[in-house]
Amino acid sequence: MLYSKKVLKHFQNPHNQGVIKDADAVGEAGNLKCGDIMKIYLKIKKQENKKTKKQENVIKDIKFETLGCAAAIAVSSALTDMVKGMTLDEAMGLTKDKIVEELDGLPPIKIHCSMLGLEALRKAISEYKG
């Protein structure tokens, strides 16, 4: 199985790995078939949108804990890089295709890893929105 250079880079040196002890929200997703488990921690802050002058919830910090294969860890790392600084609505609009594109592709058998990352992120956001 061949991984892109970006996948290997994120796997070997993952970004945003760890725990946020006072997280505003936590989301977890797992796949019983492959055994991967991802946990996403969010720290949210209110910030004024300069165009609309409305307050928006923005992802100030994000961390992850992932038990899984190289693709699962790379997806978690890339996903956290991508959404840091986004509004919650922007983050909810992220797709698996964008994550796969950010990693310069994933082997077809590993595409499900991108879905796990999104599922954990969306659960955390839904928890925050309550």
Specify the pLDDT at position 52: 84
The verdict on whether 69 is a catalytic residue reads no
Domain 5-129 sits in CATH at 3.90.1010.10
Specify the pLDDT at position 38: 95
> How far is Cα 35 from Cα 58, in angstroms, rounded to an integer?
31
Residues 42, 25 contacting (CB under 8 angstroms): yes
| Residue of 20, 91, 113, 116 marked active site | 113
| Residue of 8, 34, 37, 70 marked active site | 34
DSSP helix/strand/coil, 73: helix
CA angle 12, 15, 17 (to 5 degrees): 95
Residue 30 CA: distances (Å) to CA of 1, 13, 33, 79: 22, 22, 9, 16
> How far is Cα 82 from Cα 10, in angstroms, rounded to an integer?
13
Specify the pLDDT at position 102: 96
Per-residue pLDDT reduced to its tens digit, 32-91? 777 889 999 999 999 888 888 889 999 999 999 999 999 999 999 999 999 999 999 999
Specify the pLDDT at position 35: 84
> How far is Cα 13 from Cα 129, in angstroms, rounded to an integer?
32
> How far is Cα 70 from Cα 8, in angstroms, rounded to an integer?
8
The verdict on whether 34 is a catalytic residue reads yes
Specify the pLDDT at position 114: 80
- The residue-averaged pLDDT of 83-102 equals 95
Per-residue pLDDT reduced to its tens digit, 15-49? 999 999 999 999 999 987 778 899 999 999 998 88
Specify the pLDDT at position 50: 80
Residue with tokens 């310069």: 104
